[in-house]
Amino acid sequence: MRKSWLLAVVPLFMVSLARSGAEPIRVGGVYPLTGDVAAIGQNIKRGIDFAVEEINAKGGVLGRPVEMIWGDTQGDPKIGMSEAERLITRSNVSCLLGAYQSAVTEVVSQVAERYRTPFLTAISTANVLTTRGYRYFFRLAPTNMAFLKSMMQFVSDYNQKELGGKLKTAAIVADNTLLGQETKEWGEYWCKELGFDVINVVLYMRGAPDLTSEVLSLKASNPDILIADNYISDCILLTKTMGEQNFRPNIVIGKATGFIDPTYIPNVGSLSNGIATALEWAPDMSNGAETNAAFRKVYNIDMNGHSANAYTATWVLKTAIEQAGAPDKEKIRQALRDITITKKFPNGPDIILPYDEIAFVDVDINGIRHTNINYNAITTVAQIQNGQYITIWPFEKTTNKVIYPAPMR
């Protein structure tokens, strides 16, 4: 059930839209709805569906209902490419949302660019995605560089403020995909910038059936800090293997990838206790509290960074189509280029992410040009404490305390 104001308004607008005979505005969603990361894909879909319900309850877009047309990538770049082409050429979508995994988003963006179809990624973070000069590809999420910066800045701030600088060494563990390679690159970069010595880097094949040798290698190097970036099945396996091998670094700091998946804590239980993760949104943030309460009534779970970003991206596209004045691909692309949303969407909700403005710009980052990037995007850091994600950084934004060292039990 949705909150009362929405229950009251849905029938009126939906009846009005139906009677008008207005053809829906079709938006394509390209995500892993089945396969080994389907739990994340389905959670992203919930965020989008929730936003579409709100939008249609308020009269749709330009007096027309929004209709999501879904493509299932199954987590495979080749399937993602064919699904994107199907949505564009056969389902006649006006724009695309997708595709979670950066490797899939990379090939889907090639399809969108070829067919001149606006494509907004809510979540994919690989830096390379916005370095190719694509005109039709836009990124809402922070880059990998920004995620790793937040992760290591938290560690550095805590190290100086609370530990007298005693943390010195770090290790990195990630899969050997595009995402993992960038995690290695930027983990090493920010460790060097902030005075930490990277003493071990372990990259493994995604979906490995066993990570015992990798965990033993990490344990042997005995780092003060473990930097981790893993998709959900690997994330669960890594955590369980660390528990089996009694490997408990003082600080474990993960990227949101698998650590915020709704299935993570239920699968690893108390082993997650004390693990920190950079993320775009957490339930204890003041931004989006009302939206999350309504979301929870429908789906019986809280939003997380993935669903909150997907929800926000859907409202961004709604705003762009309205400003374009028609579901015309070129006009939508130009509207996304021109858009600036500050604090609140027109005739919509507040921005629920931890920043107040959304705009897509071209900018140089570490000497590399990025195109159509939401440069305002930042992350927070939360720690899993007794099965809950508790915001712990930036320190000036919260009074919650860090559990140190991470008990992982």
Q: What is the CATH number of the domain that holds 122?
A: 3.40.50.2300
Where does residue 1 rank: exposed (0-12), middle (13-18), buried (19+ CB within 10 A)? exposed
Residue 405, domain member (yes or no)? no
Q: Is the dihedral of CA 360, 29, 55, 17 positive or negative?
A: positive
The answer to whether residues 204 and 274 belong to one domain is: yes
**Domain annotation covers residue 409:** no
Task: Determine the average pLDDT of the residues in 232-241.
Answer: 97
* pLDDT band, residue 396 (cuts 50/70/90): confident
Number of domains in the chain: 2
- DSSP structure string for 33-99: -SSTTHHHHHHHHHHHHHHHHHHHHTT-BTTB-EEEEEEE-TT-HHHHHHHHHHHHHTS--SEEEE-
Query: 17 pLDDT band (50/70/90 cuts)?
Result: low
What is the Cβ-side half-sphere exposure of residue 342, based on CA atoms within 13 angstroms? 1
One domain for residues 317 and 272: no
pLDDT tens digits, residue range 128-160?
999 999 999 999 999 999 999 999 999 999 999
How many H-runs (helices) and E-runs (strands) does the chain carry? 13, 16
Residue 193's pLDDT band (cuts 50, 70, 90): very high
Indicate if 368 and 390 belong to the same structural domain. Answer: no
- Same domain (yes/no): 154, 264: yes
Residue 79 is part of which domain span? 4-142+287-373
- Residue 84 falls inside a structural domain: yes
For residues 172 and 108, membership in a common domain is answered with no
Q: How far apart are alpha carbons 298 and 296 in whole angstroms?
A: 5
- Is residue 301 one of the residues assigned to a domain? yes
Residues 92, 192, single domain; the answer is no
Percent of the chain with pLDDT over 90: 88
Would 406 be classed as within a structural domain? no
> Cα angle at 186 between 185 and 187, to 5 degrees?
95
Task: Tell whether 198 and 211 lie within a shared domain.
Answer: yes
Judgement on whether residues 257 and 350 belong to the same structural domain of the protein: no
Q: Are residues 172 and 193 in the same domain?
A: yes
Does 180 share its domain with 274? yes
Query: If you search the block for the tokens 């344990």, which residue do you land on?
Result: 219
